């Protein structure tokens, strides 16, 4: 079985937590004749109430020409190299990572009020950590309408998901602790915290 069972992550809460930290998605799409041969990159926000991802792209983006199609989303969380020289119980080097694949239906949004709601939700999501967040409401109506003339909004349903989290789940707690410390020393706090979240599994 690949990936090994202990590296497979189906817990949606854990997966969505990773996507909150790493929102940039690779969106794979195409048509029935040539498969998923196109890819675009854009950050997505998960709307938990509606169970959909929301986002927008430029109107000239090839994804904007699609509608009502199945797409695949790839998200890449933190990753790093692990050396045996920093972990006495490791015989070989390794690479740790946390990645997610999601399949869902892509649908364009055309209603103006819904687009405004989505723009506000996306912006607030990424602005909330700033001391003085920028607000969509600060835009004059003419500028907002001009902006909406150049971007396309969409949502993507959450139909299938699969996490491939290679975080030393198959190693004893002592080794995990050494790996966590090594990652912290190298400044990879995000990956260290992910390893720690599996330390009692």
Would you list the domain boundaries of the chain? Answer: 5-110+155-197
Q: Which carries the bigger pLDDT value, residue 181 or residue 25?
A: 25
Confidence band of 9 (pLDDT split at 50, 70, 90)? confident
pLDDT recorded at residue 170: 86
- 3 state SS of 158: coil
Both tokens of 102, joined, read 């999601």
List, in sequence order, the alpha helices (H) in 93-136. Answer: 112-127
Residue 65 neighbours by CB under 8 Å, 6+ apart:
none
- What CATH class is the domain 5-110+155-197? mainly beta
What pTM, to 2 d.p., does this model score?
A: 0.90
For residues 60-71, average pLDDT: 95
| Widest pairwise Cα distance in the chain | 63
Residue keyed to tokens 């390893």: 195
């Amino acid at each position: 079985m690949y990936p090994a069972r202990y590296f497979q992550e189906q817990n949606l809460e854990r997966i969505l937590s990773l996507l909150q930290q790493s929102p940039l998605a690779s969106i794979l799409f195409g048509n029935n004749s040539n498969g998923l041969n196109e890819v675009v990159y854009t950050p997505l926000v998960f709307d938990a109430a509606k169970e959909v991802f929301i986002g927008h792209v430029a109107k000239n983006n090839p994804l904007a020409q699609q509608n009502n199609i199945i797409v695949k989303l790839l998200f890449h969380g933190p990753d790093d190299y692990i050396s045996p020289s920093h972990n006495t119980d490791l015989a070989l080097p390794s690479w740790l990572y946390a990645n997610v694949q999601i399949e869902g239906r892509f649908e364009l949004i055309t209603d103006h009020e819904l687009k405004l709601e989505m723009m506000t939700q996306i912006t607030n999501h990424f602005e909330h950590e700033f001391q003085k967040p920028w607000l969509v409401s600060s835009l004059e109506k003419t500028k907002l309408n001009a902006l909406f003339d150049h971007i396309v909004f969409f949502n993507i349903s959450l139909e299938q998901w699969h996490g491939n989290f290679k975080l030393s789940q198959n190693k004893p707690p002592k080794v995990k602790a050494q790996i966590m410390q090594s990652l912290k020393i190298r400044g990879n706090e995000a990956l260290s915290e992910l390893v720690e979240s599996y330390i009692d599994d």
